[in-house]
Amino acid sequence: MTTSWNVLSRFRQFVNLEEYEAEKILPLCVVNLQRIQAQLRDNVNPDDIRIQEAAACLTYYDYTVRLSSEADNVTSFKAGDITVSKTTSSLKEDAEKMKKDALLELTPLMKDTRFVFLNI
């Protein structure tokens, strides 16, 4: 069964975290795993790797949103003629794409809750 610790472990493959930082991320892992599990069909294998991946990608997206709101985030540096920069908006865009891709892969396991009946 996928646990929040599995989600955290996968998340740590996206971001290099110290132990004390990982403890702050664990609640996000719990929430995102529960969000995913609430949308799964009843007969889904709880060990399906797509569940862990989707929860980790949602957590990574939440993490990048948090990073983008921090004002003291270093986004570029210069050493001689070389300049390296990475904007938080590009991180957020990458995280959003990862989240969408992971949720798209999870679609076959999810309940169909988008039924609409229209009067013609």
- Return the pLDDT at 88: 67
pTM: 0.79
Q: With 70 as the cut, is the pLDDT of residue 5 above it?
A: yes
Task: Report the pLDDT averaged over residues 22-33.
Answer: 95
Is residue 78 packed enough to be buried (19+ CB in 10 Å), middle (13-18) or exposed (0-12)? exposed
Q: How many residues does the chain have?
A: 120
- Return the pLDDT at 80: 78
Q: With 80 as the cut, is the pLDDT of residue 78 above it?
A: no
Query: Residue 68's pLDDT band (boundaries 50, 70, 90)?
Result: confident
The tokens describing 14, both together, are 């996206």
- Return the pLDDT at 69: 77
Q: With 60 as the cut, is the pLDDT of residue 57 above it?
A: yes
User: Which residues are bridge partners to 82 per DSSP?
Assistant: 79
- Return the pLDDT at 74: 56
Beta strands in 1-120, from DSSP E residues, in sequence order: 76-79, 82-85
Q: With 80 as the cut, is the pLDDT of residue 83 above it?
A: no
Task: Report the pLDDT averaged over residues 86-115.
Answer: 86
